[in-house]
Chain A
Amino acid sequence: MSVIDTVAETGGKSVAHRLRFLRGGTLAAYTLDELDRLAGDLARRLLADGLRPGDRVGILARNGIEWVLLDLAAIKAGLITAGFEFGKFDDPAALAERYGLAGLLSDLAFEPGSTKARDLRPAVSATLEAGPGAARPPEAPPHAWALDDGTTLKFTSGSTGEPKGLAATVGSIESSIAAVQSIFHHGDGDTILVFLPLSLLQQRYWIYSALAHGHDVAVAPFEYALPVAAQVRPTVIMGVPGFFESLKKHIERGGLDPDDLAGRKAAIEALIGPGIRYLWTGSAPASRDMLEFFDDCGMPIFEGYGMNETCIVTKNHPGANRIGSAGRLLPGKRARIDADGVLIVGADHPVNTAYAYCAPGESEKVFLPTGEVRTGDLARFDENGFLWILGRADDVVVLANGKNVHVRGIEERIRAHAAIDQCVLFGSGQSYLVAVVSPAEAPVPDEGRRAIEAHVGEINATLPKDEQVRRTLIAPEPFSIEGGLLTSQFKPKRKEILRVFGDEIAKLHGVTT
């Protein structure tokens, strides 16, 4: 039986383990048994309201009990969820129309008549108000999911234009959770803290894992990750590299002696609790400095590799950890490096074979006829099977928060200014983008500098936050072929530019070298 079927049928029914969450600013809890009964009750209400298996329900909400409950109820009722990242989407009615939603739970208000989608808030609220003691399950048995059924729609991060939508199959969820469980053995005594958006399917894995394998889980909005961690004392925290980088910077700026490992560990524990078994990171490049900052003081941190289209592919873990690598392949995954050096991933249970929503031709670029996924990441495997990511084959910069930014279009817009000859953006594994500008003429007068800054500012005003250029470095002289910063085709040589201006770029990223 798949994890999803387990969740649909029994929900784990553990009275010993809890889901903790914030309600009105304070921590509340349900046992997993209570959570299961509430989810059953909500499934009954949704079906009574006329929703039918196969219908799509959208969730545009902050992390909280409502998100969790509707997701679990949808699994029981055979509804397909579409998780929209709160803060990134701003028009619930338009989402409902575009994605054919039959129901919608939104933290953003929408007019009842503006969409055909039902407002699911009343049903969710009624379920919570009635409480687990009054919960009644649906009359029909829980929905039986097939391994190749898509149970949820997930959307790609970052990037301009419409996000790509991808339906994740039950089999991919099942095999990923089973593979993770085989290396980390989550169970009694574990509390996993979830604070990244639940719209990211991988965050919901921890809810399903709790129900299937019997452990605690705490859910908080991103903003409250630290105070909730201090209260629930998690054993596992999953964060993007940027989160752990921020923790590191915060502790270092407190004036800690770099050699005082016990003091470092105590400072980390003061922020995220004393019970950490391990830290999980991925979704963006992690720096060796950051990984060693935690690992050296006895706070294991394990980096992995995966993307929306593949789910988790490789993971370091106890007994198989090589810092700086992305770990070894998980059971059920296959990988090869193609002739261009690009990582190609196959799976016993692929996430899918095409996007459900994308621009024409996008699916074919990523999903190969073999059923494999072309990741776009340049990579190699070492002699012991550890994966090392070497960079991107395309123009994507993956920021520390895991957002993917296609930089070429932004670079071209910056280049359009008469005072600018070339522009290259950097920011891999950092919090924001930095531009290195090659001026049309040198030296650049103060007036010219101001004009360039103003031009970048104007472009920023049209871009989403993650795609904005926060700092601009104007090179002392134009890039040239002779100087080694342009190819013979007059294209900028990114790696060489990074080598030459690396220290200055690092300073603009706030990194001390």
Chain B
Amino acid sequence: MSGIETIVRGRLCQSLSKPAEEAASLDMNAALGDDLGLASLDLIMLMTAVCNEAGVPLTSLGEEDLARLRTPADIVSLLSAKAAA
């Protein structure tokens, strides 16, 4: 598991009020809105926290990229690509 995936899982647990030990079992392909119940405002909080921890400025991510995020796996892909760039 990549460092970014670990960060996303940890922060997602926090956003969903789940205990940290459930981080490894989160479904990374669940829909952020429909399945996990995250409103767009919650997603902004999640992305801000993930970006801060990963050291990737949120403002360096394009609005279109953020708008395309559907699953936790999408977040990992986006941040991994940004971190590698």
- Which residues of A pack against B, CB within 8 Å? 22, 25-26, 62, 87, 221-228, 242-243, 245-247, 249-250, 253-254, 271, 400-401, 431-432, 465, 470-471, 510, 512
Which of B1-9, B54-62, B70-78 lies at the interface?
A: B54-62
* A26, A253, A512: the one within 8 Å of B15 (CB): A253
Q: A242-B39, A253-B17 are in contact. Are A223 and B45 (CB under 8 A)?
A: no
- The 14 sampled A-B contact pairs (Cβ below 8 Å) are A25-B59, A222-B44, A223-B47, A223-B63, A224-B58, A226-B44, A226-B48, A227-B51, A228-B59, A246-B45, A247-B45, A253-B14, A432-B39, A470-B37
The chain B residue sitting closest to A86, CB to CB, is B63
Given known A242-B41, A250-B15, A400-B39, contact A224–B33 (CB-CB < 8 A): no
Q: Report the minimal beta-carbon distance from B32 to chain A, rounded to whole angstroms.
A: 12
**Residue of A22, A225, A249, A271 with most chain B CB atoms under a 10 A cut-off:** A249
Which of A26, A246, A254 is close to B44, meaning CB atoms less than 8 Å apart? A246
A401: which B residues are within 8 A, CB to CB? Answer: 39-41
Q: How far is the CA of A222 from the CA of B45 in the complex (A)?
A: 11
Residues of B within 8 A of A (CB-CB), count:
23
Give the distance in Å from the alpha carbon of A243 to the alpha carbon of B43 in the complex.
11
CA distance A17 to B64 in the complex (A): 31
Complex contact B45–A25 (CB within 8 A): no
Distance A62 CA – B58 CA, assembled complex (angstroms): 16
B67 at the interface (CB under 8 A from A): yes
- Residue of A22, A242, A400, A471 near B37 (CB, 8 A) is A471
CB A109 to nearest CB in B, in angstroms, measures: 12
Q: Is B28 an interface residue (CB 8 A)?
A: no
Tell me the bound Cα distance from A490 to B14 in angstroms. 44
Chain B nearest Cβ from A457, distance in angstroms: 9
With a cutoff of 8 Å between Cβ atoms, the chain B residues found around residue A25 in the complex are 57, 59-60
* B44:A223 contact, CB within 8 angstroms: yes
Q: Nearest chain-A residue to B14 (Cβ)?
A: A253
Contact across chains for A224 and B41 when beta carbons are under 8 A apart: no
A431 to B, closest residue via Cβ: B39
Bound-state Cα–Cα, A75 to B85, Å: 43
Contact present for B39 and A227 (CB under 8 Å): no
Contact of B39 among A246, A247, A471, A512 (CB under 8 A): A246
7 closest A-B pairs by beta carbon, nearest first, are A431-B39, A246-B41, A250-B45, A226-B48, A25-B59, A227-B58, A25-B60
Contacting pair A223 B14 (CB below 8 A): no
- Please name the residue on chain A nearest to B15 by beta carbon: A253
For B37, what are the chain A residues with a Cβ–Cβ distance below 8 Å?
Answer: 432, 470-471, 510
| Residue contact A227 to B15, C-beta cutoff 8 Å | no
Structural contact, A431 and B41, CB atoms closer than 8 A: yes
Chain B min CB distance to A261 (Å): 21
Q: How far does the alpha carbon of A227 sit from the alpha carbon of B40 in the complex, in Å?
A: 16
Q: Assuming A431-B39, A512-B17, what are 16 further A-B pairs, CB within 8 angstroms?
A: A22-B59, A25-B57, A25-B60, A62-B63, A223-B44, A224-B58, A228-B59, A242-B41, A249-B42, A249-B45, A250-B14, A250-B45, A253-B15, A400-B39, A465-B33, A470-B33
Give Cα A249 to B33, complex, Å.
16
Cβ contacts under 8 Å, A512 to chain B: 17
A283 to chain B, nearest CB (A): 13
Residues of chain B from 23 to 50 with CB closer than 8 A to chain A in the complex = 33-34, 37, 39-42, 44-45, 47-49
Residues of B within 8 A of A22 (CB): 59
Q: What CA separation (Å) do A246 and B48 show in the bound complex?
A: 12
A25 to B45, CA, bound (A): 18
The residue that A26 contacts in the complex, of B39, B42, B59, B67, with Cβ under 8 A, is B59
